[in-house]
A and B are shown apart, each in its own frame.
Chain A
Amino acid sequence: MTAPTHPRSAWTGLLLRRGFQIVALALLVATLCFLMARALPGDIATRIAAGRYGYDLVSNAAADAVRLELGLDRPAWRALLHWWGDLARLDLGRSVVSDLPVWREVGEALGSTLELSAAALLLATLVGLPLGIWSGLHPGGWIDRLALALAVLLRALPPFLLAVLLMLLVAVQLGMLPVAGDDGHGSLLLPALTLGLGLAAGLARVTATAMREAAAAPSYAFARTKGLSDRQALLRHGLRQAALPVVAYLGVQAVFLAEGALVVETLFSWPGIGHALVHAVFARDVPMIQGTALCMGLLFVLFNLLVDAACLGLDPRRRQGGGAAA
Chain B
Amino acid sequence: MSALPDIPQPTARHRLRRRAGLAVLGLVAAFALAGPLLVGTDPARQVLADSLAAPGARHWLGTDVLGRDVLARLAHAARLSLGLALLSALTAAVPGVLLGVAASWRGGRTERALVLLSDAVLSVPGLLLVLLFAALAPGRHWALYLGLSLSLWVEYFRVSRAAARPVLAGDAVQASGLLGFGRFYILRRHLLPALAPLLGTLLAFGAAQAVLALAALGIVGVGLQPPTAELGLMMIEYMPHYEEAPWLVAAPVAVLAALVLGMMLLAGDGAQA
Contacts and interface: CB of A to CB of B under 8 A. Distances in A.
Given A2-B112, A262-B220, A278-B221, A158 B212 contact: yes
A236 to B, nearest CB: 25
A29 B120 CA distance: 11
Nearest to A36: B136
Contact of A277 (B121, B131, B235): B131
Contacts of A202: 3, 273
A318 interface: no
A64 to B, nearest CB: 28
A21 B127 contact: no
B123 interface: yes
A10 to B, nearest CB: 16
Given A255-B126, A258-B125, A293-B132, A266 B220 contact: yes
B156 interface: no
Interface string B231-243: 0100100010010
B20 to A, nearest CB: 15
Interface in B96-133: 107, 111-112, 115-116, 119-128, 131-133
A209 B273 CA distance: 13
B39 interface: no
Interface stretch (A52-60, A223-231, A295-303): A295-303
A191 B228 CA distance: 29
A281 interface: yes
B216 A209 contact: no
A48 interface: no
A259 B119 contact: no
A209 B216 CA distance: 31
A319 interface: no
B123 A21 contact: yes
B183 to A, nearest CB: 22
Interface string A262-301: 1100110000000001100110000001000100110011
Contacts of A252: 1, 3, 273
Interface stretch (A72-80, A105-113, A160-168, A181-189): A160-168
Contacts of B10: none
A282 B221 contact: yes
A145 B207 CA distance: 30
Interface in A192-248: 202, 205-206, 208-209, 212
Nearest to A213: B5
B131 A262 contact: yes
A161 B253 contact: yes
A318 to B, nearest CB: 17
Query: Which range holds the interface residue count of chain A?
Result: 35 or more
Contacts of B5: 205, 208-209, 212
Given A35-B136, A267-B219, A297 B115 contact: no
A1 B115 contact: yes
A15 interface: no
A159 B221 CA distance: 16
A25 B131 contact: no
Nearest to A165: B253
A266 B220 CA distance: 6
Interface string B154-175: 0000100010000000000000
Given A263-B216, A278-B222, A326-B162, A21 B125 contact: no
Given A156-B261, A259-B128, A296-B125, A17 B222 contact: no
A262 B127 contact: yes
Interface string A125-144: 00000000000000000000
Contacts of A29: 124, 132
Interface of B: 1, 3-5, 107, 111-112, 115-116, 119-128, 131-137, 158, 162, 212, 215-216, 219-222, 232, 235, 239, 242, 253, 256-257, 260-261, 264, 272-273
14 contacts: A25-B124, A156-B261, A160-B219, A160-B232, A160-B235, A205-B3, A206-B3, A208-B5, A262-B127, A278-B221, A281-B135, A281-B222, A293-B124, A300-B123
Interface of A: 1-2, 17, 20-22, 24-25, 27-29, 32-33, 35-36, 39, 155-156, 158-161, 164, 168, 202, 205-206, 208-209, 212, 249, 252, 254-255, 258-259, 262-263, 266-267, 277-278, 281-282, 289, 293, 296-297, 300-301, 326
Given A28-B123, A160-B219, 16 more contacts: A22-B123, A29-B124, A29-B132, A32-B132, A32-B136, A161-B253, A164-B235, A202-B3, A258-B125, A259-B125, A262-B128, A263-B219, A282-B222, A300-B123, A301-B123, A326-B158
- 3 shortest interchain CB distances as A-B pairs: A24-B120, A21-B123, A25-B123
